[in-house]
Amino acid sequence: MNVDLKQERKNASFQVEKITHILDGSPDRTSRRRELENIIRNDPSGIFDNSNNNYLHRTDRHVRAMAKGVRMLEIARKIGIGAGDKKSTIRNGPLEEGELMLSEDFFLLVNAVADELPLYLHWVMFVPNIRSLCDDEQQKLWLPLCRDFRMIGCYAQTELGHGSNVRALETTATFISEAEGGGKDGSWKIHSPTLTSSKFWPGTLGRTANTAMVIARLIDGDKVDRGIHNFLVPLRNSDSHKMLPGVTVGDIGPKIGYNNMDNGFAIFNNVIIPRRNMAMRFASVDKHGKYMKKSVDEATSKVAYITMMLVRAWIVDQAGKSLAFACTITTRYSAVRRQGFDESQPKVVQNNGITKLKPEKQVLDYTQQQHRIFPLIAASYCFFFTGRHLMKYLQHIENQLVSGTGSVTKTQVSDLHASSSSLKSLCTIISADGIEECRKACGGHGFLVSSGLPELLTSYLQNPTVEGDNHMLPQQSVHVLLKLVQVVSEGDEDGIMAYEKCDSKYLIKPMQRILSGDKAACTAQNLNEIMDLDLLLEAYQHRSARLLLEVANELQTKIGEGTKMNVAWNELLVEMARMSRAHAYAILLSNFTHGIKEVQSDPKLSVGKEEVEVLTDCAYLFAVYYIEKDLGDFLEDSYLEKSQTSLIRKAVLHMLSKIRSNAVALVDSWDFSDFRLKSALGRNDGNVYPAILEAAKKDPLNATNEGPGYVHLKKLYVDGVAKYDNFSGTASRL
């Protein structure tokens, strides 16, 4: 164990294990996680060894990832994760056939592999889609095939020329009647009418899936375009895995990250599928080609919506985890890494004629290094508590919907849409930028793939774009919040009441205050007074309310001046993004502080005051750091004044120095094993330098003594000049 890391761990004021239990949910869950991680790590097949990942050609890594996925599923079957396991984090209630794998333990097993598994999408996207979009008979037919991997599916929505604007998709599914050769029961003709309609991006579509849930425009028997619907399209023969007639699928080529995955393209050339391959839960077409919408009760449609938002909650949670991975690596390495002499001490220690340099400073002691890393540690915890809160709240709502108890209102659901949009957008960008900042904060060695940070970063980088582009979501959030402005402006008491259980409820009071003309301002006069989480939260809430009102006002003004709505809207997109960020920050800080309170009273956890204190320190740092970062927002309406900005800056430095001695312990608490970290710099024992060198030597470029490019290089020799050999021959070993 590196002596510096040892000392850091000794300095911690709290028990690491207790925070680990918070992060896992309970001591039992911690044990179970470790147990499953051991099973993977010690699997006799050896297939889970990740130590050569970085040296493989992409094709080899993809094939190896497939082998890992298969072995992992074999293990899951063997130890009874699946059939015997009835707990799920994604849905409440008992799991059903075909969905068995969406359990907490299954996720633990997947995470334990610590490599990207293409097969994963079959369970987390394809199977849930069959369940939510297909009718009972279809589910009964297809789910057993999914369970047994006769049907390996993917969800094929985006097209080469079409991303988030789903209504613009071009792929067609045209009804073929018996008279047109569609058989007695009728058929569908799936077709890609243009190059831009090629399906593009769906994970596992390229080389893994034999079936796709294809989103296409439905043209019914009357040749009427009924818009976007889902169709189950076979892609490959399930025995030979060869492409079926009319189907061209392939991998879309290397990406900046996530290259185990075969994101794919598909071109359909008049592919005929049975009529009943249309997903028929919400609409159907009969054998005469007649289109019918099915009446679905409101709860069912809301549940489908909740599922989408659970994915967002999961993304927020993952943003925290991914960031914590990066923080773990960088914090540990910054404790081990020493650079720069302490100028107040002599530089060279002479000892018996042998020169010895005195040790340099720990990099973690530089305030600018703390300023780069510690707020990210705080953010990782903040995202954990927010993801946890969102998940619980969504499950609570889903319970009510499924059981028919309680009353879930439209306002609640659309408000969740707003907050989850804002949160997804902000958390994923903080995390993506934060991972890259952690990488840079490791100096040159952060550039090495063996540091673990490049792959962590490049794989993470999809998140700001997928599941709603971060630059598209904010306007959706503001669109919803503008309704609240109307309610508050009009003093509509009933309308206000409807926000009782909503995340955006906090906006009401500060908006009312601003509208009434009361001057709002921060009252803190010294460091002590500003270190008050309620006061800081109020600042965030005020900013959010102010920016929302400004967007509403500007929109109204523009419309009043005769600007068309779509033009005015476009002109306000930058401001909407700012408002959406402000909204997310207010929710994040609130969830952070509430989360800390909640775990204190959780009987499964024995959280002590030391653990509460260090988590609260993180909440403080989060609060003051992100005010400092967006200082203009708080100054421009004089909510903060000049003297308070220097208080904020002082508070940031104060919190950095307070967290310093707990920094390593805070990242240790996430309990990421070396097997999962895959980082020469982030090793638990701190022996980073031998690990870097060992990793370097593995590169196949080093396979031969002479350089592999020398065969070309020597062509440059010019004859007739003095031979260099005479010179180089002088090098020798004593």
Question: Which of the residues are catalytic?
Answer: 467
Q: Mask: binding to a second copy, 629-648, rule CB under 8 A, as x and -?
A: -xxxxxxxxx---x--x---
Residue 613 C-beta: closest distance to a second copy, Å? 23
CA 602 – CA 385 distance, rounded (Å): 14
Rounded to a whole number of angstroms, the minimum distance from the CB of residue 355 to a second copy is 4
Whole-number Å distance between alpha carbons of 43 and 73? 13
**What tokens appear for 722 in the block?**
């003095």
Least Å distance, CB 150 to a second copy, is 4
The structure tokens listed for 663 are 């920094």
List the one residue out of 462, 427, 463 whose CA is nearest residue 580. 427
The amino acid that residue 12 corresponds to is: A
Residues 58-91 as b/e (b if ≥16 CB within 10 A, e otherwise) read eeebbebbbebbebbbebbeeeebbeebeebbbb
Least Å distance between CB 454 and a second copy? 4
Return the number of the residue (405 or 711) whose C-beta is nearest a second copy. 711
Stretch that binds a second copy, among 191-199, 302-310, 476-484, 593-601 (CB under 8 A): 191-199
- Which of 90, 100, 134, 160 touches a second copy (CB under 8 A)? 160
Least distance to a second copy, CB of residue 534, Å: 23
- In whole angstroms, give the CA distance from residue 262 to residue 63: 10
Residue 174: CB minimum distance to a second copy, A? 10
Taken as a whole, the chain contains a residue count of 734
Given 299, 461, 508, 559, the residue binding a second copy (CB under 8 A): 461
- DSSP characters for 363-385? GGGSHHHHHHHHHHHHHHHHHHH
Q: According to CB under 8 A, which residues from 537 to 566 bind a second copy?
A: 564-566
Q: What residues numbered 204-233 form the site for a second copy, per CB under 8 A? A: 206-208, 210-211, 217, 219, 223, 225, 233
Minimum distance, C-beta of residue 615 to a second copy, in the bound complex (Å) = 24
The secondary structure of 298-345 as a DSSP string is HHHHHHHHHHHHHHHHHHHHHHHHHHHHHHHHHHHHHHH-B-S--TTS
Per DSSP, the residues of 82-132 read: TTT---BSSSSS---TT-TT-BHHHHHHHHHH-S--TTHHIIIIIHHHHHH
With beta carbons less than 8 A apart as the criterion, state whether 216 and 190 touch: yes
- Minimum CB distance to a second copy smaller for 128 or for 234: 234
Nearer to a second copy, 6 or 650 (CB): 650
Q: Give min distance, CB of 437 to a second copy, in A.
A: 10
Q: Answer for the pair 253, 57: CB distance below 8 angstroms, yes or no.
A: no
Number of C-beta neighbours around residue 344 at 10 A: 5
Quick one: 353 or 404, whose CB is closer to a second copy?
Answer: 353
Instruction: Choose, by CB under 8 A, the member of 372, 479, 509, 558 that binds a second copy.
Output: 372
Choosing from 369, 421, 504, 662, the residue that interacts with a second copy (CB under 8 A) is 369
Strands 199-200 and 264-268: antiparallel
54 in contact with a second copy (CB under 8 A)? yes
Provide the β-strand partners of residue 174.
189, 219
Residues whose CB is less than 8 angstroms from the CB of residue 733 and which lie 6 or more positions away in sequence, other chains included: none
Piece of the chain touching a second copy by CB under 8 A; list 389-397, 406-414, 459-467, 602-610: 459-467
β-bridge partners, 225: 219
Which is nearer to a second copy, 453 or 487 (by Cβ)? Answer: 453
357 binds a second copy (CB under 8 A): yes
Question: If binding is defined by CB under 8 A, does position 244 make contact with a second copy?
Answer: yes
Q: CB under 8 A: which stretch of 28-36, 103-111, 198-206, 604-612 binds a second copy? A: 198-206
Q: What x-and-dash track marks residues 309-348 binding a second copy by CB under 8 A?
A: -----------------------------xxxxxxx--xx
| Interaction of residue 251 with a second copy, rule CB under 8 A | yes
Residue type present at position 7: Q
Q: Return the residues of window 660-689 that contact a second copy according to CB under 8 A.
A: 689
Q: How far is CA 223 from CA 283, 289, 406, in A?
A: 17, 9, 44
Q: Which helix (H) or strand (E) holds 436?
A: helix 410-440
Tokens of 338: 């020493």
Does residue 164 belong to the site contacting a second copy (CB under 8 A)?
yes
Q: Which residues 578-617 are close enough to bind a second copy by CB under 8 A?
A: none
Site string for a second copy, 68-107 (x = CB under 8 A): -xx--xx---------------------------------
Q: Which two tokens stand for residue 317?
A: 């949670």
Q: CB-wise, 110 or 599, nearer to a second copy?
A: 110
Task: Select 601 or 728, whichever has its Cβ closest to a second copy.
Answer: 728
d(CA 387, CA 393): 10
Query: Binding pattern to a second copy, positions 694-713, x when CB under 8 A?
Result: -xxxxxxxxx-xxxxxxxxx
Closer by beta carbon to a second copy, 84 or else 690: 690
By beta-carbon proximity to a second copy, the closer residue of 59 and 301 is 59
Query: Is 201 a residue that touches a second copy (CB under 8 A)?
Result: yes
Nearer to a second copy, 239 or 561 (CB): 239
Tell the smallest beta-carbon distance from residue 431 to a second copy (Å): 13
Q: Which amino acid would we find at residue 281?
A: R
Nearest distance from residue 145's CB to a second copy, in Å?
5
Q: Given candidates 27, 30, 55, 533, which one binds a second copy under the rule CB under 8 A?
A: 55
Scanning residues 261 to 290, which ones bind a second copy (CB under 8 A)?
262, 265, 269-274
For the segment 476-535, give every residue that binds a second copy (CB under 8 A): none
Q: Quick one: tokens of 405?
A: 């108890």
Yes or no: say if 439 and 453 are a contact pair by the CB < 8 Å rule.
yes
CA distance 356 to 344: 17
Q: Which of residues 427-456 bind a second copy (CB under 8 A)?
A: 436, 439-441, 443-444, 446-450, 453-454
> Is the CB of 247 or the CB of 413 nearer to a second copy?
247
What minimum distance in Å lies between the beta carbon of 644 and a second copy? Answer: 9
Contact track, a second copy, 110-149, x by CB under 8 A: --------xx------------------------xx-xxx
Q: Contact at 8 Å (CB) between 251 and 262? A: yes
DSSP 569-625: HHHTHHHHHHHHHHHHHHHHHHHHHHHHHHHHT-TT----HHHHHHHHHHHHHHHHH
DSSP secondary structure letter of residue 727: H
Smallest distance from the beta carbon of 670 to a second copy, in angstroms?
23
Q: Are 328 and 670 in contact (CB under 8 A)?
A: yes
Give the total of residues touching a second copy (CB under 8 A): 186
